[in-house]
Chain A
Amino acid sequence: MNSILKTTELPYCKGCGHDLIAKKSAQALENLGLSPLDVIVVTDIGCHGIIDKCLNTHTVHGLHGRSVALGAGISFGIENPDKKVLVFIGDGGSTIGLQHIMEAARLNLNMTVVVHNNMLYGMTGGQTSGLTPRGFCTTTSFEGNPFAGYDICELTHTAGAAYSSRIMGVGDITDELVEAFSVKGFALTEVMEICPSYGVKLNPRRKLSEILESSGKKTGVWKNERKAFVLEQGKKSYDLLEELKGVEKDFPEVLASDLSLVISGSAGEGIQSAATLLASAAMRSGCHVTQKGSYPVTVGVGFSTAEVNLSPEPINFHGIGVPDIAIITSADGLAHSKKRIEGMKKGKLFIDESLETPSTGAEVIKRDFRSAGARSACMYAVIYFAKSTGIVDTESIYKTIEESGLAEKMPLSKIKEKIGSLN
C-alpha cells in the first residue's frame, strides 16, 4: 500500500480541477518519497473534502473552513518533522477560515495548504465567495461579482508564510506541488480552477488565464526566509501547590464568631492586596478565611472592593450581604458600598475623614487613612481596624507584610507610628 491514492476514479464532475489537484498532489507526495502513513491529509466541507475515501493516508475531515486550524493543531502535536500535514481547503473555506490561515502563516507552522480556488461555493450551489474575482458571475451575482476577491497569497506572504504560490490548475502541476510540499514551514499554494458545473456555464467563453489577469493577480511564488515553528521542548513547569506558601498558626486564636468585612476604595490603591494580607494574617491565628475581589471590567479605574470573611469554623457560603465591618478609603469605594453601609444596623464603619459619612446604624470611626498615601490608605485602615477591635493581631499583619516583601512598597514605619499612638 505505497500509493497515496487508492483509486484513480475520483468522485468529481468531468473537467473539475479538484481531480487534477488530488492526482498531482498524490504524485508529488510519492515523488518526495513519502509513504501514505507519513501523511495526514486534513480536509473540510466543500467538494475538495470528499477526497478522503480515495486516500491511503491518514485522513481528518472537519468543519467548513476550519481545516487549517485543525491541521495547525496536528502540526503542533507532531514531534517527527518527517510527517507531512497537508490541508485541502476551498475558496469558500478560505473565506470563513481566513483567520486560521493567517494565524498558521504568522506562526510559520510546518504544514502545507492547497487552496482549491474555483472562485465559488460549488457544493452548495455556486454562490460568491471571498475569493471570487470582480466581474465573475456566480449563481448569487449573475451580473458579475461587484467586489474584488482576496489575494490569499499576498495575505499569507505578508503574514509571514515561508512559501506562498499561485498556479493554474491545468496540465501537469506535479513539480509546482513538489516545490510547495518540500517547504519546511508554512506553505500555501492557490490552485486556480473553474467549476465545470457553475463557473463554466455562468461565464461562457471566459478563459481561466483571462479571468486571473483581469482580477489583477498573477501566478508566481512569494517566499519569506524563515525557520519553521518548532515546539520548544522542556518548557518549565511549576507545581502550583508546591509554590504556594503555607501559613503556620503562630499567633493565638482571638476570633470567637464569624465576621464579615467589606473593604472599598479605588482601583490601584492596594485594596485587594490589603485584603489578602489581612486574610493571611488572620489565618496565622487559626482563622478560616475567604477573600474575593469585585471591580469594574476596566481594572485600573473606578472602585475596587474586597470581601473578607473570618471564622473560627470552616466556611461554606462566602457571600456577604450587609457586612459586620466596612472599611472605606475613597469616594469610589464609598459610592460602590454606600447601599450596604446604609443597611448596616450594627457593626463598625471605618471611613476616611475626607468622606461624607452615609446614614448608617454602624458605629462610625473616622480617621486620616489617606495620610498614609493613596496606595497605602487601605493597608493603614485595615491595620487600624485590627488594632482598634483586637480581632486580628496587628503583629501578625506586620509579620505577614514583611514576609510578603511588600513592606518596602509602603510607608510601614509611618503606619506603625500612627497605630502605636493608639491606645
Chain B
Amino acid sequence: MFNVRKLAWVGFAFMLTGTALVAVMIILNEASVLYTFYPPLAAHPFFYVGLVLLVLGIWACCFGVFINYSHWRKAHRGQPTPLLAFFAMGVFVLWFFASIGITIEVLTLIPWSMGLVETTNVMVGRTLFWWFGHSLVNIWYLVAASVWYVVVPKLIGGRHFNEKLIKLVVILLVILNIPGGFHHQIVDPGISLSIKYLHVFMSLAIAVPSLMTAFAMFAVFERAGRRLGGKGLLGWLKKLPWGDVRFLAPMIAMIAFIPGGAGGIVNTSNQLNQVIHNTLWVVGHFHVTVGMSVVMTFFGICYWLVPYLAKRRLTAKMNRLGVIQTIIWTVGMVLMAGSQHAAGLLGDPRRTSFTTYGDHSTALSWIPYEYVMGMGAVLLLIGVLIQVYAVFHMMFFAPKGETEFPVAEAEDGAAPAPMWTERWGLWIVLLLMVVAMAYVVPIMDFILNAPPGSPPIKTW
C-alpha cells in the first residue's frame, strides 16, 4: 500500500529537482522561451526534462490525494466528503487531467530539441500547451475559492453556504475548465472561425460557476453581518472584521475578482480580444486575477496556516503588520494593474523591453502609464518583503501555542450534500467528454492538414 505522506515527499523531491533544473537552464540563457514555452522557440533539452520532473512531482501528490480519498470513502461509507477535502479532490483531478496535454507536448519537444527529430507541429504544440495553460491558473483560483467558501465564513463568525451548491461549483469548474484555454488561441491561424466561435461558449461557461460563487459569498457576508447586528441596506458591511488580516486579504481578493472576471470576459470575446491581444492589458488582467484574487487569498491563508502548522500563534502585532502589508499590496496592484490596462488599451505591447519606437507619438503616450506601473512595482516589492518576513517569522519565531484551523459549519438544520456529488468517476468521464468535444476538431485539423513542421529556433 502506498503511503500518502511518502508520496508527498516524493512529489517534493521531484518538484524541487525540476524547479532547480528549469531555473538553471533559464539563468544560463539556454531556455529563453517564456512561460508559454511552445515551439518553434526551442530551449535546451534539460529545460524540458526539468518540466517533466515538475509534472511527475505533481502527479505524485495527485495520486497521494486520490488514494487518501478512497481510504476516506471506505472508512466513512454513506457520508459526503468534508468540503475542503472535496475542493482538494477537484484541484488535483484538474491538475492531473490538465497536465496530460502539456506532458504530451513536452515529450515530443525533448527529441526535437535534442535534434533526434527534425521538425515539430507548431500548432499542435500550442494547442496542447493551452489545454494546460489556462487550467493551471484555474487550479490556483480553485484553491483560493476553497478558502472563500469554507474558511472565510468561519472568520466572520458565519456559516458556510449550502453545501450542495458549493460542491456543484467545484464539479462545474472541474468539468468545464480545460477547453477554456482555447481563448488564448483566438487569433491563431489554422482554426476556422466557426470553431473559434463555438469555443467562446466553452470559455464563457466557466463564468457560470464564478458568478454562483460571487452571489453565494455575498449572501454569506450579509447573513453574518446581519446576525452581528448590521442594520439597513449596507449596515452589515460595517460589522465584518476588517481589522483581521485573515479576513481582509481574502475579502479584497474576492472584490478584485469582479473586475478580474469582467476583464476575462473581454479577453474571451472574439472581437474585444482583437483590441487587447498581446498588449499590456493582458498583463494587467492577470495582475488583477492572479496578483490580487489568488495571491492575496494565499497571503491571507498564511496568517493562520503557517502558525497552525508550526504550532505557533498569530500575534496582534503580526496581524497589524499583515493589515499594513495587505494595504500596500492592494495599492501597489491597483496602480500596476490599472495602468497596465489603460496602456494596453492604447496599444502598448506586452513581452517587450522599454522602447519609444523612435519617439513615435503613440508610444510616447504610454510613458506616463508606465511610470505608474513602475511605482506599483516598488510598492509590490515592499509588500513581498513584508510578506516573506511575516511567513518566516510565523514559521520559526512567533510565540508557541495552538492556532485554530478555521473551518465553517453548515447552517443549523442544513441538509448535507447529496451523495451523487461524490461520483468522481462520472465527473472525470464528463471532463474527458468535454475535452474531446473541444480538442478533437482543431488537433485533427492541424495533423491532417499539417503544414511543414518547424525546426528548433533560437532567436537569442
Decide whether A and B assemble into one complex.
no
